[in-house]
Structure 1
Amino acid sequence: MGKDKLRKFTEIDTFANVYQLEEGKALKGKWVQEHFKNENPLILELACGKGEYSVGLSRLFPEKNFIGIDLKGNRIWRGARTGVDEGIENLAFLRIQIEDIVDYFGENEVDEIWITFPDPQPQESREKKRLTFPGFLNKYKQLLKPGGKINLKTDNDGLYQYTVDTVEALGLVCHKKTDQLYTSPYYDEVLSIKTHYERIYLKHDKNINYIQFSLV
């Protein structure tokens, strides 16, 4: 591991807005009360990478709480560092495997989920690793409040279509969907938040897909 990665891993251990493994499990069902110390809605960003979306959302909505989730600590460092430097009190990060998410959040604890530019896992053999695979949706259902929404934003046309087909096959409620986000009527200040990778895709004229749905 390079020196810069080691430095970031060491530094996030000192951040009050980053939780790892057992630290996070201790807050299951109590994130809002014990970390954020309020009664505001809780929104998760899965596969958050550097946390651009979590940071952007927390700035836009100080009346809501946001947790970015990813396994790679050197990526989480960037968003967490911004949160510390700017004193963003409604922002936190959790370093875990998303497969284990039910160990970290209680039933009906989460109001909304964002999945922003995840690994599309395009190989058929890795379908179960896609974050909109039915197995993952069943996990999210345990955490989400009734009617809680899931948002997927991706440049990958295959993952988008897979998600659309999954939503239809399971009879879920689809609120919005488009394969051309930036020319759609859904484009607003929330969806205009851009991740590092999204900026790269847009420079290459790649279309951005978006779908919002609820579990039934």
Structure 2
Amino acid sequence: MTDNIELTHQQARAFRPDKLSPPRDFLVPNIIGENKDNVPLILEVGAGKGKHALSFAAQNADKHLIAIERTRNKFEAFAKLATMQNASNLDAIHADAIAWIVHAIAPNSVAKIFILYPNPEQHNPNQQWLNMPFFEFLLSRLQVGGEVTLVTNIEAYMDNAEQQATDTWSLPNERYQVIDDSQRTHFEVKYLARGETCWELCMQKPEGYKTRFDDWQVDAVNQKIA
């Protein structure tokens, strides 16, 4: 990114991280405070029952995945499987992702973020991920060159996300059609089996990218380490 690119998101209403309290039973995984080997840190937002998280951890021993799920019954199913798999490079977190990320993740520390088949929020488009002021904060946690991968079966959601990535967030991005035999999540398996088209948008944080939260961080003294 060059200095003459206008970052329109910095003119929009700003997210207020200082207004968010930590999630109930808030814990920070050891990897965040003890990553001396600089293992790439990966986030998954909305992990569901953990199909993608468990597979990713098994196939990427050189990376550490923190997978967050808010819904209790889905998280409990995920946590049970994660305990059985016992992967040292996976942390399953039961929390609201926005509040947890605000209180746990440092600026410029995440290599990749997965948002796979989020709620399409068709009746409340302001809650779609790339429409939310929080997305600027999320980008501040991403390393330069880091990626956000968004996947959905709703073409209108993807059309909007692609436009927002370019026009609002000034992110280089590429859009793909998910291959027919992909099985990353239970939703993906179901949608592709029904013959639906699923879309993937890969966005990258370029060199020189600035947000209003690049230096904002919660006081780590008050955090509890899991």
Q: Report the counterpart of residue 156 of structure 1 in structure 2.
A: 154
SS at match of 1:206: coil
Q: Report the counterpart of residue 75 of structure 2 in structure 1.
A: 76
Task: Quote the Cα distance in structure 2 between the aligned partners of 1:143 and 1:105.
Answer: 7
Q: Report the counterpart of residue 120 of structure 1 in structure 2.
A: 120
> In the TM superposition, what whole-angstrom CA distance separates every residue of 1:147-182 from its partner, at most 9, and x where no partner exists?
21100111111111110010121253334212x221
Q: Report the counterpart of residue 54 of structure 1 in structure 2.
A: 53
Q: Report the counterpart of residue 62 of structure 2 in structure 1.
A: 63
Q: Report the counterpart of residue 38 of structure 2 in structure 1.
A: 39
Q: Report the counterpart of residue 87 of structure 1 in structure 2.
A: 86
Relative to structure 1, the CA distance from residue 71 to residue 167 in structure 2 (aligned partners, 3 Å threshold; closer, same or farther) is same
Q: Note the C-alpha offset of 1:22.
A: 4.1
TM-score normalised per structure 2: 0.73
Relative to structure 1, the CA distance from residue 171 to residue 104 in structure 2 (aligned partners, 3 Å threshold; closer, same or farther) is closer
Q: Note the C-alpha offset of 1:207.
A: 0.3
Task: Quote the Cα distance in structure 1 between the aligned partners of 2:44 and 2:153.
Answer: 17
Relative to structure 1, the CA distance from residue 171 to residue 95 in structure 2 (aligned partners, 3 Å threshold; closer, same or farther) is closer
Task: Quote the Cα distance in structure 2 between the aligned partners of 1:155 and 1:132.
Answer: 16
Determine which of 12, 24, 40 is the counterpart of 1:21: 24
Bigger mean CA deviation after superposition, 110-119 or 93-102: 93-102
- Is 1:181 the counterpart of 2:140 in the alignment? no
Assess if the C-alpha contact under 8 Å between 2:43 and 2:113 holds in 1: yes
**Runs of 4+ with >4 A deviation:** none
Task: Quote the Cα distance in structure 2 between the aligned partners of 1:95 and 1:129.
Answer: 20
Q: Percent identity?
A: 21
Q: Note the C-alpha offset of 1:38.
A: 5.2
Q: Report the counterpart of residue 104 of structure 1 in structure 2.
A: 104
Assess if the C-alpha contact under 8 Å between 2:130 and 2:165 holds in 1: no
Higher relative contact order (CA 8 A, sep 6+): 2
Assess if the C-alpha contact under 8 Å between 1:45 and 1:67 holds in 2: yes
**In structure 1, what residue type is equivalent to 2:47?**
C
Please state which structure has a larger fraction of its residues in helix. 1
TM-score normalised per structure 1: 0.76
Q: Note the C-alpha offset of 1:33.
A: 4.0
SS at match of 1:102: helix
SS at match of 1:68: strand
Q: Report the counterpart of residue 14 of structure 1 in structure 2.
A: none
Task: Quote the Cα distance in structure 1 between the aligned partners of 2:74 and 2:150.
Answer: 20
Q: Which runs of 5+ in 2 are unaligned?
A: 1-22, 210-226
**In structure 2, what residue type is equivalent to 1:165?**
Q
Task: Quote the Cα distance in structure 1 between the aligned partners of 2:85 and 2:70.
Answer: 23
- Is 1:202 the counterpart of 2:192 in the alignment? yes
Q: Note the C-alpha offset of 1:31.
A: 3.3
Q: Which runs of 5+ in 1 are unaligned?
A: 1-19
Q: Note the C-alpha offset of 1:134.
A: 4.4
Assess if the C-alpha contact under 8 Å between 1:48 and 1:69 holds in 2: yes
Task: Quote the Cα distance in structure 2 between the aligned partners of 1:64 and 1:162.
Answer: 31
RMSD: 2.2
